[in-house]
Structure formats: C-alpha cells, structure tokens
Amino acid sequence: MITKFERIPDIFVELYDYQFRVWAEEYRKRGPRQAINFRRPPGAPLLYDGEGRVIQFGAWLVAEPEDNGVMRIRPASDQDEEVIVRHCREMRGSVVQ
C-alpha cells in the first residue's frame, strides 16, 4: 500500500516515522483515527497537570484507504493541522539536516 500525506509537512513525517509505522502495522486494531504524541522541543520544560502527571501534546490524524491501494493520511481537523505546523516550527532546529 502507498501512503500519501495531505496537509502534513515532510519534517513531521520524518520526526514521527516510527509512530506512523506502528499505526500501519496495527491499523486493523487501532482503526482510522490515531493520535501522534509530540516530542518536546529542545530546552522546553516539562509541564505537569494538577495531579503531577506530565502533560502530553499531540495531534489527531485520520487515515482513509482508497480502492486503488493508496492510504491517505491527513489531520483530523483544522486545529490539528495548525498544531502540527506550529510543532514543526518549534522542532525544526532539533532535526539534523
């Protein structure tokens, strides 16, 4: 199956390749919606909730298989797309080019 990413920057696909591969392997169990958990940008402090748990950030994605063997993956909402773009800007400096 060929995967096509829509409205998702290439750097995001590179950063989270492992999570995408796990989702693909477990697609039948996980289904077409998946949250991608973000890494913290370099130097960013950990944030905690009221109960002392580390707050995780991420975005939801949707996979749509097509009859022609293509799997299209896109942000689940406009807000998820905005969060992904903002995260990529924050992480750009941490990726070796």
Hey, where are the domains in the chain?
2-94
* pLDDT tens, the chain, 97 aa long: 899 999 999 999 999 999 999 999 999 999 999 999 999 988 889 999 999 999 999 999 999 999 999 999 999 999 999 999 999 998 987 654 4
CB atoms within 10 A of CB 91: 19
End-to-end alpha carbon distance in the chain:
28
Cα separation, 37 vs 46, in Å, equals: 14
Mean pLDDT over each residue of the chain, to the nearest integer: 93
Residue 74, Cβ density class (10 Å: 0-12 exposed, 13-18 middle, ≥19 buried)? middle
pTM as predicted: 0.88
